[in-house]
Amino acid sequence: MGIAPAGLSEERTHTASLVLRADRVVLPDGIAAATVVVRDGRVAEVRRGDGVPGPADLPLVDLPGLVLSPGLVDSHVHVNEPGRTDWEGFATATRAAAAGGVTTIVDMPLNSVPPTTTVDALRAKQAAASGQLWVDVAFWGGVTSADTRHVGELAAAGVSGVKVFLAPSGVPEFGHLDGEGLTAALAAACRHGLPVLVHAEDPAELAAAPPPAGPRYAGWLASRPAAAEVAAIRQVVAAAARTGGWAHVLHLSAAAALPVLAATRSAGAPVGVETCPHYLSLCAEELPDGATEAKCAPPVRDAANRAELWDGLRAGLIDCVVSDHSPAPAAAKRTGDFATAWGGISGLQTQLPVVWTAAREHGAGPADLARWQSEAPARLAGLAAKGAIAVGKDADLVAWDPDATFVVEPDRLLHRHKLSPWAGRRLAGVVRTTWLRGRSVDPAGPPRGRMLSRDGPS
């Protein structure tokens, strides 16, 4: 299955109880040869050692030459259903996720209509998702004004946290917050033990920058300066310190903000941060004019900035690497004009190989990917059963070949729209099989995903 040549036979793996054996199993304390025993969809035992047998009553899946990792948890996905299902949708998004080794996604409160800012909107989204999930799905709520009365209701309904924008979101139904609104959101979420996810760009800095125009990527880059991220992150840090709230900075692209985050960590403030595969693999110098498939906000910056992001990731200043999958139809995305094209990247299915291809060049290994792409996002979203191969956890697993390579062919992607800034690139890391609670996921087979809440299945 997946974006590369067909992998392991599915026949023997359609069961919630089985044994998987690999020379390289990514465990919470490192990589080891191990046999993983799965019973009733959960990890029942981990038996370390080469060729250690499993229980004789269970079918064995041997994984020679492959890495067995925890399934990826992508805590930043825009599914867009209901309302903009022609942009994506739960069926297409979760099939693509499974093909890429992602076993859980957390859906953003926009660009669906209505946005997930009330319990009624959450229920509408859950109704739309019902029967269409090939992987598990949790949900973020949203706050769009200083009126935070719905935060407690959303928390009780099981959202993983709430998202806010400090600059215009790009869609009219999801407004952005000023400093008062950010403080109110952090205080309200703190009362319910939820994180506040922040799109951190300062509108004053953006207003002072030249507006984007035409096909030049340099014009788009100049219109979203690093200073806008730095100023907004300073505001987030200060508001978190005032309220005691838990803030999480989304899609960090500006390495210039890393010293601010380092000082915050030293002071013990509860501020997390993520970055995305596109910031770790693409760079402005290599993006041709007119390549609006790579338009996103904040933007992909230069190679020196990319190297600093890798430094921050390895140093632990950046917690998560997640896709920020934000697709749109070709008519909205492929305009060739950075002023008019939709600003979002489709990367849900390709994130494991994109990150792995770059990670190898920076001295990182499969255990690092598991920490960044599984463990930390699961912790952020409050999904205790996800993110690691450990006894009691859901048997959400991915077997992948770190040495095999493939060329990204957009027609083989399972997203609704076959667009990718990595089209034509050769990547390393081929997903062979994805298991959800011990069952192998076939994107052409029946949907077995569940809807999750911060406290468990909804």
Dist. CA 302–CA 221, nearest whole Å = 9
What is the number of other CB atoms lying within 10 angstroms of the CB of residue 208? 11
Contacts of 342 (CB under 8 A, 6+ apart): 170, 295, 326, 328, 332, 333
Q: Are 413 and 349 in contact (CB under 8 A)?
A: yes
Contacts of 37 (CB under 8 A, 6+ apart): 19, 43, 44, 45, 46, 47, 54, 55, 58
What integer is the mean pLDDT of 279-292? 97
> Residue 292 gets which letter from DSSP?
G
The total number of residues written for the chain in this structure: 458
In order of start, what are the domains of the chain with their CATH numbers? 11-68+394-450 (2.30.40.10), 71-381 (3.20.20.140)
Buried b (16+ CB within 10 A) or exposed e, 81-119: bbbbbebbbbbbbbbbbbbbbbbbbbbbbbbbbbbbbbb
Q: Please report, rounded to a whole number, the percentage of residues in the chain having pLDDT higher than 70.
A: 96
- For the stretch 436-453, pLDDT in tens is 999 999 999 999 999 999
* DSSP β-bridge partners for residue 27: 30
- pLDDT band of 458, cuts 50, 70, 90: low
Least confident of 14-23, 69-78, 402-411: 14-23
- For the stretch 326-372, pLDDT in tens is 999 999 999 999 999 999 999 999 999 999 999 999 999 999 999 99
What is the rounded (10 degree) CA torsion for 103, 192, 203, 302?
-30
Residue 2 has pLDDT above 60, yes or no: no
Dist. CA 352–CA 357, nearest whole Å = 9
Q: What is the pLDDT of residue 409?
A: 97
Q: In this structure, are strands 60-62 and 136-139 parallel, antiparallel, or unpaired?
A: unpaired
- pLDDT band of 457, cuts 50, 70, 90: low
The residue among 290 and 455 whose pLDDT is bigger is 290
**What does the mean pLDDT of the chain come to?**
95
Q: CB burial class (10 A; 0-12, 13-18, 19+) of residue 202? A: buried
- pLDDT band of 266, cuts 50, 70, 90: confident
- For the stretch 132-181, pLDDT in tens is 999 999 999 999 999 999 999 999 999 999 999 999 999 999 999 999 99
Dist. CA 82–CA 58, nearest whole Å = 41
Phi-psi region of 89 (alpha: psi -120 to 50; beta: other; left: phi over 0): left
Residue 285 has pLDDT above 80, yes or no: yes
pTM of the model as a whole? 0.96
Contacts of 137 (CB under 8 A, 6+ apart): 79, 90, 94, 104, 105, 106, 107, 129, 449, 450, 451, 452
Q: Are 352 and 364 in contact (CB under 8 A)?
A: no
- For the stretch 150-159, pLDDT in tens is 999 999 999 9
CA angle, corner 253, sides to 247 and 254, nearest 5?
95
- pLDDT band of 269, cuts 50, 70, 90: confident
- pLDDT band of 455, cuts 50, 70, 90: confident
Q: What is the pLDDT of residue 1?
A: 29
80: nearest Cα among 158, 145, 171: 171
Backbone CA torsion sign across 128, 131, 134, 138: positive
- pLDDT band of 267, cuts 50, 70, 90: confident
What integer is the mean pLDDT of 231-249? 96
Least confident of 9-18, 114-123, 258-267: 9-18
Residue 11 has pLDDT above 60, yes or no: no
Residue 14 has pLDDT above 70, yes or no: no
Contacts of 29 (CB under 8 A, 6+ apart): none
Residue 247 has pLDDT above 60, yes or no: yes
Dist. CA 416–CA 291, nearest whole Å = 20
- pLDDT band of 12, cuts 50, 70, 90: very low
Q: What is the pLDDT of residue 8?
A: 37
110: nearest Cα among 158, 146, 143: 143
Q: Are 160 and 194 in contact (CB under 8 A)?
A: yes
What integer is the mean pLDDT of 253-272? 92
